[in-house]
Amino acid sequence: RLSKRLEMIAKQVPEGSRMADIGSDHALLPSYLAERGKISKAVAGEVNLGPYQAAAKQVRDAVLGSLIDVRLGDGLAVIQPGEVDVITIAGMGGALIAAILEAGQDKLAGVSMLILQPNVGESFVRTWLLEHSWVLIREQILEEDGKIYEILTAVPAQHTELTNGQLYESRILGAGITANEELQLKLGPYFLQEPSAVWFHKWKLELDKLEMIRGQLARSSQQETRSKEQLIESEIKQIKEVLACLQ
Ligand code: SAM
């Protein structure tokens, strides 16, 4: 059985897509989609030999070799320009996902959808999308086995009526609180419009972490550390204000 997280990602992949799953590990996502006839072909990319071999074994065992090509290589280097319509990158940090997209830009022409699931650092992904004319069309959040995951789906700006300007336009949340672009890149423009219980839970946990870091920094007497503490203090204040406004 697929995890709830991978199942939710699978649901975002349009029927009949040619997909590339980058960092595919055991190739569970493309296998699941191929077995159900939901994709016309897949490339499962892996940079590490162990996961690459696991993916190759999975595809062999499931007799899906005619639909899924398992390839060893870094990020988007495993695909040719124009080879796929949809790219999924899941289960790694947001900074790494953004770096993979940045390094593989020449492979993105012709790609009509990116489905990205950063484990942490979602703002790196949103920022990369914004700076490269991809428009977020959906944000989802789920909790599974005590972990919270976000799934970000984006399309090229020319494929949607929505513009990044509209998506990230400053929004008044409540008395004196405005969500500017920076705040939306961190918290998520759709989540801010329709915050779910899981999203509130995520940010309460993030606040706990930030408060712990602040506490550690407060014990230091170094000037540099104290200014970091002040930055965290203002981040905490800002997040708390937003949460209070939306609740
Ligand atoms: N995508 C699967 C999922 O969401 O369940 C597997 C996630 S696994 C935690 C992350 C995988 O990404 C690892 O197997 C790792 O080898 C691979 N990976 C990390 N950096 C990569 C890169 N630059 N290119 C391709 N794969 C990469």
pLDDT, one tens digit per residue, over 104-119 is 999 999 999 999 999 9
DSSP 76-106: GGGS-TTS-SEEEEEEE-HHHHHHHHHHTGG
Residue 134's domain spans which residues? 4-162
CA of 77 to the centre of ligand 1 (A): 14
Q: Is 41 helix (H, G, I), strand (E, B) or coil?
A: strand
> Can you say how many angstroms the Cα of residue 115 is from the centroid of all Cα atoms in its chain?
7
* Ligand 1 mutation target, pool 22, 26, 31, most atoms within 8 A of CB: 22
Among protein residues, the one with the nearest Cα to ligand 1's atom 26 is: 23
Overall number of domains in the chain: 2
Task: Verify that 60 and 140 share a domain, yes or no.
Answer: yes
User: Please, are residues 163 and 157 in contact by the beta-carbon 8 Å criterion?
Assistant: yes
Among protein residues, the one with the nearest Cα to ligand 1's atom 17 is: 23
Stated as kind and residue range, the H or E segment containing 124 is helix 122-131
Task: Verify that 29 and 129 share a domain, yes or no.
Answer: yes
CA of 33 to the centre of ligand 1 (A): 18
For residue range 10-35, list pLDDT tens digits in order: 999 999 999 999 999 999 999 999 99
Contacts of 186 by beta carbon, 8 Å cutoff, 6+ apart: 122, 123
Task: Verify that 11 and 130 share a domain, yes or no.
Answer: yes
* Ligand 1 mutation target, pool 28, 32, 47, 142, most atoms within 8 A of CB: 47
pTM over 0.90: yes
Task: Verify that 19 and 95 share a domain, yes or no.
Answer: yes
User: Would you say the CB of residue 74 lies under 6 angstroms from ligand 1?
Assistant: yes
CATH label of the domain that carries residue 227? 1.10.287.1890
Q: Domain boundary at 108, 136, 162, which?
A: 162
Q: Write down the ipTM of this complex.
A: 0.99
Amino acid (one-letter) located at 83: E
Looking only at Cα atoms, what is the longest distance across the chain?
A: 63
User: Please, are residues 202 and 148 in contact by the beta-carbon 8 Å criterion?
Assistant: yes
CATH label of the domain that carries residue 157? 3.40.50.150
> Residue by residue, what is the 3-state secondary structure of 154-206?
EEEHHHCCCCHHHHCCCEEEECCEEECHHHHHHHCHHHHHCCCHHHHHHHHHH
Q: Domain boundary at 141, 162, 183, which?
A: 162
Task: Verify that 10 and 93 share a domain, yes or no.
Answer: yes
**pLDDT for position 199:** 98
CA distance 202 to 245: 16
CA of 25 to the centre of ligand 1 (A): 6
Taking residue 229's Cβ as centre, other Cβ atoms within 10 Å add up to: 18
Task: Verify that 128 and 193 share a domain, yes or no.
Answer: no
Q: What is the pLDDT along the chain (247 residues), one digit of tens a residue?
A: 899 999 999 999 999 999 999 999 999 999 999 999 999 999 999 999 999 999 999 999 999 999 999 999 999 999 999 999 999 999 999 999 999 999 999 999 999 999 999 999 999 999 999 999 999 999 999 999 999 999 999 999 999 999 999 999 998 988 888 999 999 999 999 999 999 999 999 999 999 999 999 998 888 878 888 888 999 999 999 999 999 999 8
Q: Domain boundary at 162, 189, 222, which?
A: 162
